[in-house]
Structure 1
Amino acid sequence: MNCIHNEYIPTGRFRVSKQSAQIFQAILGTCLGVALYDHKQKAGGLIHILLPSPLGNTDFQPDTPEKYASLGIPMLINELRRMGCTTKNLKATIAGGALVGPVSRMDLGLDIGGRSANIACRILEEQGIEIISSETGGFFACTLALDLQTGETQIAPSWETAFDPDDIAQAPDTKAILATIDTLKPIPQTALKILRMFNQGIHSLDDISKELSRDQVLSARTLQMCNSVLFSGVIKIDTLKDAVMMLGGEMLVKSIITTALESYFNQIGPSGYSLCKGGLFFHAVGVACLAEQIARQTGLAPPWQAYTAGLLHDIGKVVLDQHISDHLPLFFRTLEEEGHSIVQAEEEVLGFTHCRAGVILAKKWSFSDALTEVIRHHHNPEGAKHHTNLVEIVYLADQIVGSFFTGFDVDKINALHLEPIIKKMDLDGASLVRFIDDLPLDRLTQESPHDTANAG
């Protein structure tokens, strides 16, 4: 009996292997996946491409060149050549590049996935590599898998699952979901107090440091976060005093809240809203970073507030994740076959939405009215009566991250309001591409998917 290991290829990365009992997988929305395999050498690789090519001048040296089709595919080919493969024997499969969700003029104008696919085809043709299968474009996310033992590739819907009506579990009642809200381990009170102190402007750096030092576990994990790529990356921070001096108050508070939320999201079960382990947290960080960029570019909300709102917008999914695993087949079918939004699917399958659960948590934890409004309306920005700019910023960030990092969060892209909001914010396609290009891929590192091994 052979144990086959499934390895998830993160966005902007590639992997190669030779004669290995492995299956490489990439979950693709707007991103593009390219799998190459040499049957003579029994070697191959898979790349998960974010964008067509680098922005700016030709002398630009990106930190992560493999996230671009124009740079990453040649890197993958060269790596396989070093393993003894030849372009004559390599065969290619291409997938992804979808226009996920309703198509707007903005989608068609950008056509990021389509341009990535064109570049991929051109490079492969120039190298004399045969494309044996190509399924690009369309409107649905998919998974591209490469079996390193056989060279076989498979392209399938990301949420494909068997559905047997006889296996439908009884939906939880409202009392059970409310009970879960009470039993989940909350965000640490220290982090919530620091968040309120910072939002209300009644703090000093000494106050924040003293408050944080009272929670030794949170302090230690915050220092780890401060040394991550997202917050520092190159400067070694050993003490809270160093963190205050080197990062400043706002960055320190961001690291505290991000650390606290990572712990909260760790309560997600082995199956549910995310197609990869830790996906909901990675999605939250991506939305937070992008919302901060949009707020800074547009001046429509304080960047710090936008970051926090993006980080917290999906807290209700942790509650519903405790109940949804028994209903996944029906939930996925409701999303795909019946065309419901995620909020509609939640209401139909569970009788409760993550927005509703999130608002209950927001009130329980004394979040500001602005944060509560974002949690309530980030799927329907037209319903927001107050703090509309902040709600729209998080909605836009949520939709973009959902398009390019599909495996993080089982959600449906709802582009209904994208075009008017982008126009209202005076943004254009180039701005959106730059936002995507600036996302911290090293921080958005996915672990293996839930099913990491199977017997064959």
Structure 2
Amino acid sequence: MTRHEYLDKILAKVTDVPTLPASVLHVMQMIEDPLCSAADLARVIQNDPGMATKVLKLANSPFYGFRQKITSIPQAVTLLGFATLKNALLSAAVFDMFRISGTGFDMPALWKHSVATATAAKLFAKRVRYPNSEKAFTAGLLHDVGKVMIARYLPSSLLTIVQTVHDKNVSIYDAEQHTIGLAHPSFGAWVISRWGLPTQLVEAVEYHHHPTRAKYAFDLAGIVYLANILTHRANIGNGGDLMIREVDPKVLEYFSMNESTLYDLRDALHAKRLEIEAFASIAASV
């Protein structure tokens, strides 16, 4: 039985797969349409009061660093740009999936970790001149959504996983493999593939612990891999364990980086800590 067949077997009884809101999917599709104008996009967002409120709250967060207050949707669309706007909406939508309690897992801390990893991925993307830094942000934001899947659909397994991390001082990835036979990257790739997101994002999520296994998106998977390690080192949020992660030298070599580069980028990420925490808090409240 292949890994994907095993995953399908585990999740065969799942009938309520979490989906992105139809309104968010519609806006994301518009953003990808080269014929879509800023006016078209603003008009659709304005017609959805809930979405409009989210966009304005997030656009005015310290995370984006605009000096003037953004008071209208057309202004937000113009200043943020299409790709950044898409990630703002995606951030708010994905956070709704983190609203799970009673799991023994710190979901707000996981959300902060995800936002920090997204931020780190964008920093890495710019450093290595990856052509789409916003896509790197998206991949970083989604990289741990598989942990939410486990919390939602395998809560008893999650309790065992959390206990194993605590008792044996292992990574949450290893505890998941030991308990379930699969780890969170597989669960995350499974769900976002059902959202119809691009193959590159699916691979980046699936292989963010082992980027050399990616067939089509090694660059993106490698960026998220390094961003995840950097976020753990910067201690922003909590991905489920406190393990110190070593970097695969092959990945560093591919990107022409060394440990000194990682220290510089960790400092840059640390400098954004307050903005990251503010963004996570605002996304949680919209």
TM range, normalised to the smaller chain? 0.7 to 0.9
| Paired position in structure 1 for 2:149 | 319
SS in 2 for 1:237: coil
Residues 251 and 296 (structure 1 numbering): CA distance in 2 closer, same or farther, change over 3 Å?
Answer: same
Shift of 1:416: 5.2
- Give the aligned CA root-mean-square deviation in angstroms: 3.0
Which digits, 9 at most, give the CA deviation of each residue in 1:160-195, with x for residues without a partner? xxxxxxxxxxxxx97674545x42542222223333
SS in 2 for 1:287: helix
Q: Which moved more, 1:331-340 or 1:279-288?
A: 331-340
Shift of 1:289: 0.9
Q: Give the distance between the partners of 1:297 and 1:205, measured in 2 at CA.
A: 29
Unaligned runs of 5+ in 1: 1-172, 449-456
Alignment of 1:220-231 (within 5 A): 220-231=53-64
Alignment of 1:121-270 (within 5 A): 177-180=11-14, 182-183=15-16, 185-199=18-32, 201-232=34-65, 234-265=67-98, 267-270=99-102
Match of 2:161 among 321, 324, 331: 331
- TM-score, length-scaled by structure 1: 0.53
Please tell me the residue identity of whatever aligns with 1:218. M
- Are positions 1:443 and 2:275 aligned together? yes
> Residue 191 of structure 1 contacts residue 256 of structure 1 at CA under 8 Å; is this kept in 2?
yes
> Residue 17 of structure 2 contacts residue 191 of structure 2 at CA under 8 Å; is this kept in 1?
no
Which digits, 9 at most, give the CA deviation of each residue in 1:280-307, with x for residues without a partner? 2211111111111111111134111111
| Paired position in structure 2 for 1:285 | 115
Q: Give the distance between the partners of 1:210 and 1:307, measured in 2 at CA.
A: 26
Shift of 1:428: 3.5
| Paired position in structure 2 for 1:59 | none
Shift of 1:312: 1.3
Alignment of 1:51-90 (within 5 A): none
SS in 1 for 2:121: helix
| Paired position in structure 1 for 2:228 | 398
| Paired position in structure 2 for 1:380 | 210
| Paired position in structure 2 for 1:452 | none
- TM-score, length-scaled by structure 2: 0.81
Match of 2:130 among 294, 297, 300: 300
Please tell me the residue identity of whatever aligns with 1:183. D
> Residue 287 of structure 1 contacts residue 401 of structure 1 at CA under 8 Å; is this kept in 2?
yes
Q: How many corresponding residue pairs?
A: 272
- Relative contact order, higher structure (CA 8 A, sep 6+): 2
Q: Give the distance between the partners of 1:309 and 1:370, measured in 2 at CA.
A: 9
Q: Give the distance between the partners of 2:191 and 2:158, measured in 1 at CA.
A: 24
> Residue 150 of structure 2 contacts residue 184 of structure 2 at CA under 8 Å; is this kept in 1?
yes
Shift of 1:398: 0.7
Q: Which has the higher helix share?
A: 2
Question: Structure 1 runs of 4+ off > 6 angstroms?
Answer: 173-176
Which digits, 9 at most, give the CA deviation of each residue in 1:26-74, with x for residues without a partner? xxxxxxxxxxxxxxxxxxxxxxxxxxxxxxxxxxxxxxxxxxxxxxxxx
> Residue 186 of structure 1 contacts residue 264 of structure 1 at CA under 8 Å; is this kept in 2?
no
Please tell me the residue identity of whatever aligns with 2:214. A
Structure 1 or 2, whichever has the larger Rg, is: 1
Sequence identity (%) = 25
| Paired position in structure 2 for 1:345 | 175
Unaligned runs of 5+ in 2: 1-6, 282-286
Residues 312 and 195 (structure 1 numbering): CA distance in 2 closer, same or farther, change over 3 Å?
Answer: farther
| Paired position in structure 2 for 1:110 | none
Which digits, 9 at most, give the CA deviation of each residue in 1:81-139, with x for residues without a partner? xxxxxxxxxxxxxxxxxxxxxxxxxxxxxxxxxxxxxxxxxxxxxxxxxxxxxxxxxxx
Residues 174 and 387 (structure 1 numbering): CA distance in 2 closer, same or farther, change over 3 Å?
Answer: closer
Shift of 1:363: 1.9
